[in-house]
């Protein structure tokens, strides 16, 4: 039987734990409101920037149109003008065209940033409201505990873990959005701007030097092909279609095959068990984990060979990834916040979301082995 003194001690410790949780919730609510105010201020500033850029772009559009008309006039009556005048007209039109493309691109980026801030603002507002509700609900929980509930401490800990995990998920989502935005800006967006300029240049060549158009079109075709490859890569990184169509093992097998072709990384794939579809969230999480591990092998391990093994059981899926690379000091890497632990923290969080276990065995000069086990 549980001693009364022990019961009082347990209830007292539980109440103190909940009080500490309540203080944390107050801090979260306060921080949410501060972040909310900051985002509102930043959003207002971005909106002003958008307005200014739009005005600038509109003015450049007018100037660029005038310059093109001037260039057409000079080109049409070229015998009335000197070569210097013709060159000046062409250079002016070309530079204004470049400035206009840059301004429109800046406008798109600012609009994207504005939209992103508006989404963040709504999410922060929702987070602040939920934090306030949790604070008020905590008082009700304390009343229940005063009446003799003994297991509430565990429930509160679970609630706190769930909240911390939710914040981690939000952070991961924001990092993913930033990464995709950077990839689109540095890749397809720049290529599209280049395509627009080259296409307009081709139109001018039709009138001025038709024999050069074919070479320009071939160059333009290569740019479009590269842009298409970039877009397909971004789409695959966002959501591999083969994962939805075929499942985890075939998606990983194809990913490893493509990675080998692209980077020359020797990866052997082994699968044991019966092919079966898993829950969509489980398949996505495990695919991302393997993707992160393989990326680390390519970037950091300097490995000659590696193996990805999947074992699908009735109630569990096991994944093991080994390489013969240079290995690393696990404690040192995990403590280095600037490098974010090679993404190991994110891996562990994904596995924890699935109620699974992850085990990393490595040492400098001895390769790395990462084992993951997730219940189904």
Residue extents of the structural domains in the chain: 4-236, 239-375
Model confidence at 72, in pLDDT bands (50, 70, 90)?
confident
As a whole number of angstroms, the distance between CA 277 and CA 247 comes to 6
User: What is the pLDDT averaged over residues 206-223?
Assistant: 78
pLDDT at 145: 58
Class of 239-375 in CATH? alpha beta
Alpha helices by DSSP H, listed for 240-279, are 241-245, 248-263
User: What's the angle, vertex CA 79, arms to CA 76 and CA 82, rounded to 5?
Assistant: 105
User: What is the pLDDT averaged over residues 318-345?
Assistant: 77
For helices 152-184 and 83-146, give the axis angle rounded to 10 degrees.
180
Percentage with pLDDT > 90 across the chain: 9
291 and 370 Cβ atoms separated by less than 8 Å: no
Segment (H or E) for 79: none
pLDDT at 71: 73
Model confidence at 2, in pLDDT bands (50, 70, 90)?
very low
pLDDT (tens digit per residue) in 101-131: 888 888 888 888 888 888 888 887 887 777 7
The Cα-based distances of 355 to 136, 182, 374 in angstroms read 30, 32, 7
Residue 95 has pLDDT above 90, yes or no: no
This prediction has a pTM of 0.46
């Amino acid at each position: 039987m549980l001693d009364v003194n022990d019961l009082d001690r347990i209830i007292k410790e539980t109440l103190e734990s909940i009080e500490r949780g309540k203080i944390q919730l107050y801090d979260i609510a306060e921080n949410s409101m501060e972040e909310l105010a900051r985002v509102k201020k930043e959003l207002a500033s971005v909106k002003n920037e958008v307005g200014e850029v739009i005005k600038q772009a509109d003015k450049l559009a007018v100037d660029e149109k005038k310059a093109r008309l001037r260039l057409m006039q000079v080109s049409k009556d070229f015998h009335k003008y000197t070569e210097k005048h013709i060159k000046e007209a062409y250079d002016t039109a070309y530079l204004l065209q470049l400035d206009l493309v840059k301004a429109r691109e800046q406008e798109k980026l600012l609009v994207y940033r504005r939209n992103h801030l508006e989404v963040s603002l709504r999410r922060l507002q929702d987070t602040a409201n939920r934090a306030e509700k949790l604070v008020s609900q905590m008082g009700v929980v304390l009343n229940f505990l005063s009446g003799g509930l003994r297991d509430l401490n565990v429930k509160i800990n679970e609630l706190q873990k769930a909240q911390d995990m939710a914040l981690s998920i939000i952070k991961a989502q924001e990092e993913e959005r930033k990464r995709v935005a950077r990839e689109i800006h540095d890749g397809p967006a720049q290529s599209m701007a280049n395509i627009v300029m080259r296409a307009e240049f081709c139109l001018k060549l039709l009138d001025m030097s038709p024999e050069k158009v074919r070479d320009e079109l071939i160059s333009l075709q290569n740019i479009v092909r590269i842009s298409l490859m970039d877009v397909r890569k971004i789409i695959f990184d966002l959501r591999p279609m083969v994962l939805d169509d075929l499942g985890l093992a075939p998606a990983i097998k194809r990913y490893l095959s493509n990675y080998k072709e692209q980077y020359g990384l020797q990866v052997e794939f082994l699968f044991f068990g019966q092919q079966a579809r898993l829950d969509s969230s489980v398949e996505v999480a495990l695919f991302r984990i393997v993707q992160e591990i393989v990326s680390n092998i390519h970037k950091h391990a300097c490995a000659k060979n590696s193996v990805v093994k999947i074992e699908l059981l009735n109630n569990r899926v096991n994944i093991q990834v080994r390489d013969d690379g240079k290995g690393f000091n696990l404690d040192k890497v995990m403590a280095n916040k600037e490098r974010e632990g090679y993404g190991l923290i994110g891996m562990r969080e994904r596995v924890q979301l699935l109620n699974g276990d992850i085990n990393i065995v490595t040492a400098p000069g001895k390769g790395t082995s990462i084992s993951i086990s997730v219940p189904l």
